[in-house]
Structure formats: C-alpha cells, structure tokens
Structure 1
Amino acid sequence: MNPTTPPLIRPFAALRPLPEQAAAVAAPPYDVLSSKEARIRAAGKPYSFLHISKAEIDLPENIDPYAPEVYAKSAENLRRLIDDGILIRERKPCYYAYRLVMGEHAQTGLIVTASVAHYDNNRIRKHEFTRPEKEDDRVRQIEALNAQTGPALLAHPDSDEAERLLAEATSGAPIADLTADDGIRHTVWLIDDEATIARISAVINAMPVLYIADGHHRSAAASRIAESRRKAGNVASDAESEYFLAVVFPARQMRIFDYNRVVRDLNGHSLDSFLKAIGERCTVTPAQTAVKPEHVGEFGMYVAGRWYALAIRPELIPVQDPVRRLDVSVLSEQILGPVLGITDLRRDARIDFVGGIRGLGELEKRVDSGEMAVAFSMYPTQLDQLMSVADAGEVMPPKSTWFEPKLADGLASHVLD
C-alpha cells in the first residue's frame, strides 16, 4: 500500500458499555423503530441507547424528531451515561469481534472504522441512493454528539484467513453478551493484542473492495462531516473524522430476507381485468396456500382472499442488465408500472413495503383488512446480485434488501476526537 494512502479499515478506541451494563444499554437501530415504538421499548430502561439514538422519547410527544432540541437532548443523554460510568472509553485503538445469532443462523464480523476516502473513491461500494432529509438527520446527530453511534453494515469478499482470525478472537471471554427482546443474541469480544490487530488489518486492508449492505445514510453523513471539517482546517489526514463506524462481515455469512410489496388499489381494474393483464406478462397459477417464492424470477400474489404463483415470461427479463434483471426491477417494470400505474416507488403513497421478517401472514392481514388490495411476495435479493450492481456503479431500486439479523446500537461508538 502507498504510505500516503489511508488504510481501508483501522482499529479505534470505542466508547462502549461496561460488560455488566451491555444488556441495559444495547438497543435496536434508530431507523427500525418509530418514536412511539421507541418510547415503549425504552420505558423503565434509563440506560437504553434509545435515549441517545431516539432522544425525542424524552421530550413532549408532539416534538419534531428533527428539532434542534432532540439533538441537544441526545448529547445530554450520552454525556449522562459517560458521567455515570455506564459507558467507558477504550484506552487504545482496538478491534472488536461481533457475533449475531438468530435461531440457527450465526454470523461473526469485525467492528472497525472504515475509510471515508475509500468510500468517496468507491472502494467501499454503494448500491442505493440516500434521501436528503435522512442524511441531514445523521449529520446533525453526529455533530451534536461528536461521535458516530450507529454502525454501517459492510460485507467483505470471502476470505478463509479473515474468518480464521476472527474465530481465534472469539475464544476468550466476551465484553458483551446479551439476548435482546427479539431473541437475537449479540456477543462482542475485545481484540487488543497488537499482533492480532496487525494480522487482521493486513488481511482486510489487502481486499480490493468492501460493500455497504446497510447504512448508506450513516456513511454518507460521515463523508459530509469529514469534508466540512477538512474545509474548516486544522484536521489531520488521519483524523478520526476521516473514518466511520462499521461492522464488516464475510459476504457468505450474511442473510437477506425478502422485501415484499403491498398496493392500495387495482388502478381501476376489476379483479378479472387485473388477472387478465397480469396473465399477459406472467404465467398465473392459483395456489392453495401462501406462496413463498423459492427461486429468482418467481413471485407470489395475494388478491381477493386468494394466493397465486407468478412467473414472469423469460423473454421479458433483461438478463444482461444487473439492475433491470433483479426481481424487484422486473416486478416494477412488468406489473407495478404498466398494470398498477406505480412508477415512483419512493413517492407513490399507493405502495408500501413489508420486510420478510414479518412473514406472509402480514401480507394477508394488510389485504384482508381492506387497507391494501394486492400483495406481492418476493424471492430475496441475493448478495452476489447486490455486489454486481455495486461493481457496475449502479443503484438498486428502493426497498430491495432487508438484512437480518440487525446490528444493535450502543455496543460500540466512535468518538471523533
């Protein structure tokens, strides 16, 4: 590596909970709970990181979650946990092994700080657009705290050596070990041995690319803050603000769930005309039970109390285009747009999205209640598809991926000083 080129990742001195307080601090990511849900989850839990990541829960219920008072409250709550000795700062830069266990599935990754420079030059690759208001929110949050408290989820190319080193690092006693109220177990080990840190750094920094799986707004906000601090001057090229908090997992260990679609009406169609229009683009097979697609190119559809299995006609799938051949793109181009009149998935209020973790019963519930008219179950986007899109410099349609299990907030934060 050129000595002037920053490393892809590096260790950092985390702000983390005392081992005996980890369960009291750990919280779901800020963006998977509404303010109302966060108030309920944090009730009676004064050390919950939701008081920092969703600080509006400690202010009047009608407060705008983007109001300046919210960010100020977040900083106040973080300082309280530090002053009370609940959160401690590591004495030197370290890595942290992080294992997630959800049912029979387990994945073990590495908590690091990742280079903003390599995010900017696309060595850390993106696959989706960010929304300005959400990016602005993360910028204000990070600036108020002078810390990054929510990690981005990254994937690294498969590496036996990287996995072997992490397996060795998880052989000792953890510094955090808890099972959250959703049943997911989170375990963190401190990696402070200099030789081990050097070996891990050498392996991952030699990788050609990393991929953002989840956390585009967090990483984009970090890039903006690094740029603004550079412009303000007196910032070293290796300053903490030149790196962002991330957890890097082997791609082959990660799991993507389906991200399903529900639509409020049939765009003026009767049921018969709707099924006829669908049949012009798909084979339509009535099903006796809920349809959970098992292969790329297959879809389930629930309408008028009945499930159907759909298979888009092969000649309609542009197999050479890494974005348009995705199932989420094919559904949009062949059904959502031409049949249901939905062409803007970001802004059209007639469509909503349901993470596969909720199950197909949630789709039936949304339609049977009369709230929605039709639901589509999807085959999960595959990680190699995500990588192909990122490698091509393209972006995926909105709501293409739903990663599970989710990282917890609060187990390691990155202070920018």
Structure 2
Amino acid sequence: MAKILPFKAVKPTRDKVSLVASRSYQSYTQAEREARLDYNPFSFLHIVNPGYKYAKEISGEARYQLVKNRYLEFKEDAVFKKDDASSFYIYKVVDRDKQVFNGIVAAASVEDYQNDIIKKHEDTIVSREVIFKDYLKTVGFNAEPVLLTYPDNKAINTIINEIQEQRAEFEFTTTYRDTHYLWQIDNQKHIKTISNAFANMPTLYIADGHHRSASSQLLCKELKTENKNHKGNEAYNFFMSFLIPESQLRIHEFNRLVKDLNGYTKEEFLIQLDTIYRIENRGIMPYKPSKSHHFSMYLDGEFYSLYLRKTHYKFKTSLEELDAQLLYQTVLKPILGITDLRNDNRIDYLSGKKDIVNLKSKIDSGEFKVGFGMVPATIEQMKQIADDGLKMPPKSTYIEPKLRSGVTIYEF
C-alpha cells in the first residue's frame, strides 16, 4: 500500500559531514548564523543563505537561483558526492538526554500523499506551499526530509539492528551534543524486505513537514503537466522522507503566549475563565499540568491551574478533545478574541521542550501578558485526528527527532 523507494543520495564526504550539517535556518540566532557563515566555509547555511556572500538580502527567484549555484559549487568542489547505487539510509540520533531515534531515509510517494495513504493532521497555508514549490522547482533538490511515522515493524527493526552492527558511514556530534549516525543500505535483499514491509502498511502519518510534502505535491503536478513523456517514475513523483517507528517518536507541546487580555482587567479575565474552568492560584512556584484538559497559566507574576469543568463542555470530535483546540475554543477565541491562530500577532508559541521558566521570563519581561501551558498530544490523538480527516491548530506539536540539513540530499 505505501510505496517507499531507495534513491541515490547526494551526501557530504565523510571528512566534511560534521562541517556541512546544519539545523534549519530559522533555528539559529543572527549571531549564530553569522559565526557559522564567517568561519565555516562548508556549512550548508552557505547554500540556503547565498546572499551572505554579497552582504545583501536576496529574495524570490533571484535567491532560489543563487541557492542552486551554491549547491552546484559544493558538488564541483567535491564537498558533495552522489552515491552510485540506489539505497535506503539508516539514520540514528542519540540526543543529549540519551534518547535514541532510529529511522530510514527513503523516497516517499506523492501519489500516496494525494490518495491519503500518507495522512496529514495539520493545515497548511497555500501561499507558503506555492513559495516552497517555486523554490524546489528552481533548486532541484530536497535537503530536509519530511518526518513520517509507521507502526513498529519486526522485519524493519531486524535489518536496522543488523546494519548497525557495522561501522557507520557517518558519525558526528553537534554543538547541541546530539550524535548523528548514518548507514547506507544498498543490499538488494534488504531493500526488498524494507520495501515489502512498507507495502503491507495501509497508512503512514506525517509527523513533521506538512508544508514540505504539500509543496512536493504541487511541484509534481506542475512538472507532470510540463513533461509530455511523463511516466510516473520520475524523481519528482517522490519526496525525501525520514520514516521512524511510532514508539520512537517524541511529541512535545507548544505553550501559548498572549500579549494582552483583550481589554479585560486581571480580575475580569479570571471571572470569565471561571465559567469553564476550576481555577487555583499556585503562587510563585512553577506549575505544569499533568493531565489532558488541565492547563497551567502564568499571569501577573503568579501561576494558576485550570481544570476543565466537564459538565459545561462536551466533546463531539477527536479534534475537540485535543488540548490545543480546547484552549482555542474556550479561551483564546471567545475571551481573548484571537480567531486566526496563524496570523494574529497577539499570540506566539514556545516549545514545551523548554522549561516552564522560559514562559515565565517572557511574561515577566513585559513582552506578553499571559501564558498557557499544556500536556503534549499523544501519537494516538494525532493519528485519530488524521484518520477522521480533521486538522490540528497550528503549533499543536513539537516533534523529535530533528535531523540536520545537508546530510542526505534528494535530487529531482
């Protein structure tokens, strides 16, 4: 059912992979980006930020073409080399907390995405899809895989364990103290076993990368129209993915930060909340909720616990049971007047992987007025919402692992 293909990855040479690999561009502060660009000529950031060479901000098609130019230069300088054989790739991450993530880098099918074999749980913004589609069409490669998850599978696990008894092709540790490993699988027997295992899976789920996969679909549609000899096996019919078993996926929450109380005083706001929630003042001691439908709130130097009054609120769908949606329907929209979670500049999001003290400091600084914390969504919730054809609010999940860009590249 699910079609997963091996491909000939473009990879850094073993001696340069640690220098090439980078986090997503947006995750760096300006100072971090500039330091890497100034002192590391091999960083993948030089490819995705090509205007730095000219000390100029460049956008649109001009930037896309420069990205392609920098990429070709890396290939010409033998920083990158394309594999001779179509392969799957085992990618392993051990983070600083000793969490281990094992998965397979492969090419996933756009057709499966279109036919809902690859299921989605988040909405995408059409304008962003188009922008990234145009980017992909010009540069001609994927450098950051879409994260897909699948039910744990004995046959796949056996091959992963067997391959990992050998020395990894890549092994490098980042400044985040995560250690990354990569093994190439070009053995035809292993490739067939892995392909068949996925072919027997009725569905896969997008964990992270909804815009990347949606943009790949748009690109495929456009290139298919332009190609009079389209056959369906062209590289643009697929997109690079990192497939990880459900048991190894880690889901964190995104906490909410709001800049004002929508004209209410503190007391008036608490009275509004009291209709739907039991409220307890927890004082200055940091408080994090431990159950679904419970929230923490930080307001005016104090923490509060909010417990949903279930007699006043009935769930009708799997989406309504999701805490991110519940907070939106009961607090953010009706009380604080935030209707557009994607575009309202009064709200911001903070990864729950960071300590609750980070939320407190954001509010104490005066940048925000109130903050809300929640427990993470579960993989079961994510799958059920996708199965029901529903979509989570933006920033409902912060999902790990996060791979480095530029370690494996898929060309089309």
TM norm structure 2: 0.95
Q: Deviations over 1:282-305 (max 9, x none)?
A: 111122421222221111100000
Structure-1 separation of matches of 2:124 and 2:34: 27
Q: Deviations over 1:43-71 (max 9, x none)?
A: 3111111122333443434x25x322211
Aligned to 2:379: 383
1:294 aligns to 2:287 (yes or no): no
Aligned to 2:197: 203
1:414 aligns to 2:407 (yes or no): no
Structure-2 separation of matches of 1:306 and 1:383: 32
2:261 alignment partner AA: L
Matches within 5 A, 1:357-376: 357-376=353-372
Aligned to 2:271: 276
Q: Which runs of 5+ in 1 are unaligned?
A: 2-6
Aligned to 1:114: 108
1:15 aligns to 2:14 (yes or no): no
Q: Deviations over 1:16-68 (max 9, x none)?
A: 1111211011111245346675334433111111122333443434x25x322
Kindly state the Cα deviation for residue 270 of structure 1 after the two structures are TM-superposed: 1.2
Structure-2 separation of matches of 1:341 and 1:316: 20
Aligned to 2:398: 402
Aligned to 1:83: 76
Kindly state the Cα deviation for residue 137 of structure 1 after the two structures are TM-superposed: 2.9
Aligned to 1:74: 67
| Residues matched between the structures, number | 409
Q: Deviations over 1:354-408 (max 9, x none)?
A: 1123321221111101110000011111111111111111111111011123111
1:336 aligns to 2:336 (yes or no): no
Kindly state the Cα deviation for residue 144 of structure 1 after the two structures are TM-superposed: 1.9
CA 393–34 in structure 1, closer or farther in 2 if over 3 Å, else same: farther
Matches within 5 A, 1:12-411: 12-33=7-28, 38-61=33-56, 63-64=57-58, 66-102=59-95, 103-232=97-226, 233-288=228-283, 289-411=285-407
Kindly state the Cα deviation for residue 316 of structure 1 after the two structures are TM-superposed: 4.4
Structure-2 separation of matches of 1:72 and 1:163: 41
Structure-2 separation of matches of 1:34 and 1:123: 37
CA 43–378 in structure 1, closer or farther in 2 if over 3 Å, else same: farther
Q: Deviations over 1:128-149 (max 9, x none)?
A: 1212332223222222221111
Partner secondary structure for residue 15 of structure 2: helix
2:224/2:230 contact within 8 Å kept: yes
2:142 alignment partner AA: Q
Structure-2 separation of matches of 1:399 and 1:22: 31
2:61/2:135 contact within 8 Å kept: no
Structure-2 separation of matches of 1:85 and 1:359: 42
CA 191–22 in structure 1, closer or farther in 2 if over 3 Å, else same: same
1:189 alignment partner AA: W
CA 74–125 in structure 1, closer or farther in 2 if over 3 Å, else same: same
1:287 alignment partner AA: R
Structure-2 separation of matches of 1:299 and 1:154: 29
2:276/2:313 contact within 8 Å kept: no
Partner secondary structure for residue 237 of structure 1: coil
Partner secondary structure for residue 191 of structure 2: helix
2:79 alignment partner AA: I
Moved more, 386-395 or 289-298: 289-298
Structure-1 separation of matches of 2:154 and 2:262: 51
Moved more, 85-94 or 43-52: 43-52
2:24 alignment partner AA: P
C-alpha RMSD over aligned residues: 1.7
2:239 alignment partner AA: F
Q: Deviations over 1:190-215 (max 9, x none)?
A: 11111111111111121111111111
Partner secondary structure for residue 20 of structure 1: coil
1:75 alignment partner AA: K
1:79 alignment partner AA: L
CA 162–151 in structure 1, closer or farther in 2 if over 3 Å, else same: same
Kindly state the Cα deviation for residue 253 of structure 1 after the two structures are TM-superposed: 0.6
Partner secondary structure for residue 134 of structure 2: helix
Q: Which runs of 5+ in 2 are unaligned?
A: none
Structure-1 separation of matches of 2:199 and 2:146: 17
Structure-2 separation of matches of 1:318 and 1:208: 32
1:214/1:403 contact within 8 Å kept: yes
Structure-1 separation of matches of 2:151 and 2:399: 17
CA 197–307 in structure 1, closer or farther in 2 if over 3 Å, else same: same
1:313 alignment partner AA: R
Q: Deviations over 1:101-122 (max 9, x none)?
A: 1212111000000001000111
Partner secondary structure for residue 357 of structure 1: coil
2:148 alignment partner AA: L
Structure-1 separation of matches of 2:401 and 2:54: 30
Structure-2 separation of matches of 1:267 and 1:141: 39
